[in-house]
Amino acid sequence: MKRRHPSFNIYFTLSCLVLVAGGCASTSDSSVRKKEQSTIRLYLEGQKADKNTSGTVLVTRSKIPFTVEREPFLDEGDLSKASIVEDPDGSFYVQLKFNDHGTLLLDMYTADHKGKHIIVFAQFPKPGRHPKSKDKTSETDDKDLVEDSTATPAAGTPRESAWLAAVLIRERISNGMFRFTADATRPECNRIVRGLRNVIKIAEKKAKF
């Protein structure tokens, strides 16, 4: 009977090490995800004749050209929630819920521009790297994002930004809820949503002080 104890202790110790290692990996993943940040920008389809206020972007991986206004009418600054919603058929879509100010803007733009498209752009860089700023005092602003939209990443390079969708405005959206099916992988969509949630949390903390 005494000979079994050392064997039992060895297996017990190995099991503990496996659990600890798994816990460390989980903690590491969690800390990395807390550093993720994303942006989301909604652009209105623009007039091709007005080059001063609009530009051409290539939307989705099919590179469908759209003319958009150079300034987004909504961004993550007015976002209150972001989530991925599962459809019964196995597909999914991204759902954005905007605050009161964002809800008002979404209501106005969708009421006045039925038949046009809302073009969705997102940035989702690696943890620790911040998305390009929309601050007009910085070297890069939203106009630059439109100008740089035709750039193609090197083969095999993970995407850190993308023109994800062109959503046709069929009706007025008055509840502040915007949904779109992104031309992106599930991991990319998960990454975008996690980053948006972190940005929302940061903004909420700043608002308390």
Query: Within a 13 Å sphere around the CA of 1, how many CA atoms are in the beta-carbon half?
Result: 0
Q: Is the same domain home to 67 and 156? A: yes
Provide the pLDDT confidence category of residue 57 given band limits of 50, 70 and 90.
very high
Query: What pLDDT is attached to residue 156?
Result: 62
Give the type of residue at 35: K
Q: Is the same domain home to 126 and 48? A: yes
Q: Is the same domain home to 203 and 182? A: yes
Q: Is the same domain home to 50 and 146? A: yes
How far apart (Å, rounded) are the C-alpha atoms in residues 44 and 73? 7
Please give the model's pTM, rounded to 2 decimal places. Answer: 0.77
Higher pLDDT, 104 or 138: 104
Q: Is the same domain home to 14 and 3? A: yes
Model pLDDT for residues 70-110, shown as the tens digit of each residue: 999 999 999 999 999 999 998 999 999 999 999 999 999 99
- The CATH number of whichever domain residue 68 belongs to comes to 3.30.1360.200
Structural domain for 18, as ranges:
1-34
Report the domain count for the chain: 2
Q: Is the same domain home to 16 and 81? A: no
Model pLDDT for residues 151-183, shown as the tens digit of each residue: 555 556 789 999 999 999 999 999 999 999 999
**Mean per-residue pLDDT, 125-147:** 58
Q: Is the same domain home to 85 and 42? A: yes
Q: Is the same domain home to 111 and 57? A: yes
Mean pLDDT estimate for the chain: 82
Dmax over Cα atoms in the chain, in whole Å?
90
DSSP 3-state assignment of 109? Answer: helix
User: Would the pLDDT of 41 be above 80?
Assistant: yes
Query: What pLDDT is attached to residue 34?
Result: 74
